[in-house]
Amino acid sequence: MDIITKAPRGTADKLPSEIYKWHTVQSAAASIAETYGCREIKTPTFEHTELFQRGVGDTTDVVQKEMYTFNDKKGRSITLRPEGTAGVVRAALENGLLNEALPLKLYYFTNCFRYEAPQSGRLREFNQFGVEVFGADSPIADAELICMVNDIFEFLQLKGIKLEINSIGCPKCRAKYYDALKEYYRQYEEQLCDTCKERLERNPMRLLDCKSEICSSFAKNAPSILDYLCEDCADHFATVKSTLDSMNISYTVNPRIVRGLDYYTNTVFEFVADNCGTQGTVCGGGRYNGLVEEIGGKSVSGLGFAMGIERLLMVMDAENCPYDPPKECDLYIAGTDPNSSAYAAGLVRQLRKFGFRAESDVVGRSLKAQMKYADKINARFSMVIGENEINSKTAQLKNMKTGEKLNVSIGDNFAEKINSILMDIE
Ligand code: HAM
């Protein structure tokens, strides 16, 4: 097939027939985030490459292998965002948002780009809904953030998603843990995969996350970060857990969760499901207390999450979750001849101004073909306008499902009349 008629590998069109599913998720996520005091932010699709190298971390797969990076016409290195957090931190700093009342709570819908091997549930362009909170130091904020994800999943009537949490401590306790990990893995050094051999010195925690069979078998008996947390980090984690308990949110502590991005400190969490293709994680997040400073701001704590919308929809489809019904045509007004079609166009305009989804003929079809079209687009009601209707200022409103007909005046206040009739029927 000619390449101009085929979307690039790892991308997917979101077709009109499926878009109601996206609208369901987007409106639930946005309205629930707003009940927590979040406000929407939009940041650019591309940023300077250095932002992600510094922000996401240059030992991560995302930065080392997966970024869509290119030079623009002035030779500047530009990268399509692989995730949303770094851009939001940059925008908050650049626009002085961190000088406003804290905590600052932001949410976003964003497309992300990662050059990964495409599989079911793993795309090269995918969409995230994310939340970032700044200046909330208390562990109650961590629990509240997790609770927000929980609320969204509950609202969407998802049942099979499980929450796993962990603490990866602060740089102080992590240094001791790194030493213990290095010591443990040294006995297997020769057998590790090439990527893990490289990471052993720079970022040994990432070895716990390696998907290769041999490395994951070594991970099973590796030391646990939870045995190395300093007192402050242990207290923080204990309060996160007790707050989740008091919110009635069930979770499992999984000391193997390390997350794939470098910025995390303390709490990390993942919501996992069995039925989102080959990938288990629907939503991931955690605290990142050093990131704002790393990107050039003052020391302000941060925490957030992002959920993959494609993966979420896979789970919703598999669980048969309900969606808000697709928005279809309320009323189709057919014309028996060109003059009547022009009149119908005027009526349709009035209905649209009133907020109805209304259509009339713009093709030049016969009356029969117009009614066939009204059927195809699932119009709830139809009306035929001809010379008689125009002269008498009355037409028949037909309920397309029941076949019932009702005389309606098409004179003054036409849209108001239709509105009151449809309200009565509903
Ligand atoms: P992440 O775990 O890399 O975290 O991605 C979050 C979610 O995006 C994943 O759980 C998954 O649902 C979805 N996702 C990731 N990669 C793909 C892919 N190739 N195809 C389809 N879906 C994918 C982050 O991005 C962090 N920025 C989350 C965060 C926000 N942490 C703190 N604040």
Q: Pocket residues for ligand 1 (CB within 6 Å)?
A: 83-85, 114, 116, 122-123, 126, 128, 130, 132, 260-261, 281-286, 304-308, 310-311
Domains of the chain are 13-170+230-318 (3.30.930.10), 331-421 (3.40.50.800)
Residues 36-64 have pLDDT tens digits of 999 999 999 999 999 999 999 888 889 98
Instruction: State residue 60's pLDDT score.
Output: 87
Query: Hey, what are 194's tokens?
Result: 């090439």
Return mean pLDDT, the chain: 95
Residue 83 · residue 35 · CB < 8 Å: no
Instruction: State residue 1's pLDDT score.
Output: 61
Does residue 279 have a pLDDT over 80? no
Instruction: State residue 377's pLDDT score.
Output: 97
Beta bridge partners of 48: 78
Beta bridge partners of 216: none
CA of 372 to the centre of ligand 1 (A): 45
Instruction: State residue 203's pLDDT score.
Output: 86
Query: Hey, what are 25's tokens?
Result: 């998720």
Does residue 82 have a pLDDT over 70? yes
Residues 195-210 have pLDDT tens digits of 899 889 888 998 998 8
Does residue 260 have a pLDDT over 70? yes
Instruction: State residue 275's pLDDT score.
Output: 77
- Pick the residue whose CA is nearest to atom 14 on ligand 1: 308
DSSP reduced 3-state for 202: helix
Confidence grade of residue 254 (pLDDT, cut at 50, 70, 90): very high
- d(Cα 151, Cα 230) in Å, to the nearest integer? 31
Instruction: State residue 211's pLDDT score.
Output: 83
Mutate to test the pocket of ligand 1, among 43, 111, 128 (most ligand atoms within 8 A of CB): 128
- 400 CB-side CA count, 13 A: 20
420 Ramachandran zone, left/alpha/beta (phi>0; psi -120 to 50): alpha
The arithmetic mean of pLDDT across residues 414-426, rounded, is: 89
CA of 14 to the centre of ligand 1 (A): 19
CA of 231 to the centre of ligand 1 (A): 30
With b for 16 or more beta-carbon neighbours within 10 A and e for fewer, the 336-352 pattern comes to beeebbebbbebbebbe
Does residue 400 have a pLDDT over 90? yes
Does residue 391 have a pLDDT over 80? yes
Residues 137-164 have pLDDT tens digits of 999 999 999 999 999 999 999 999 999 9
Instruction: State residue 116's pLDDT score.
Output: 95
Instruction: State residue 47's pLDDT score.
Output: 98
Residue 224 · residue 257 · CB < 8 Å: no
Query: Which atom of ligand 1 sits closest to the CA of residue 306?
Result: 28
Does residue 422 have a pLDDT over 70? yes
Q: What percent of the chain has pLDDT over 90?
A: 89
Place of tokens 């009339």: 360
Residues 295-315 have pLDDT tens digits of 998 999 999 999 999 999 999
Residues 319-376 have pLDDT tens digits of 999 999 999 999 999 999 999 999 999 999 999 999 999 999 999 999 999 999 999 9
Instruction: State residue 423's pLDDT score.
Output: 84
Does residue 278 have a pLDDT over 80? no
CA of 71 to the centre of ligand 1 (A): 25
CA of 129 to the centre of ligand 1 (A): 9
175-179, 206-210, 222-226, 356-360: segment of lowest average pLDDT: 206-210
Instruction: State residue 97's pLDDT score.
Output: 98
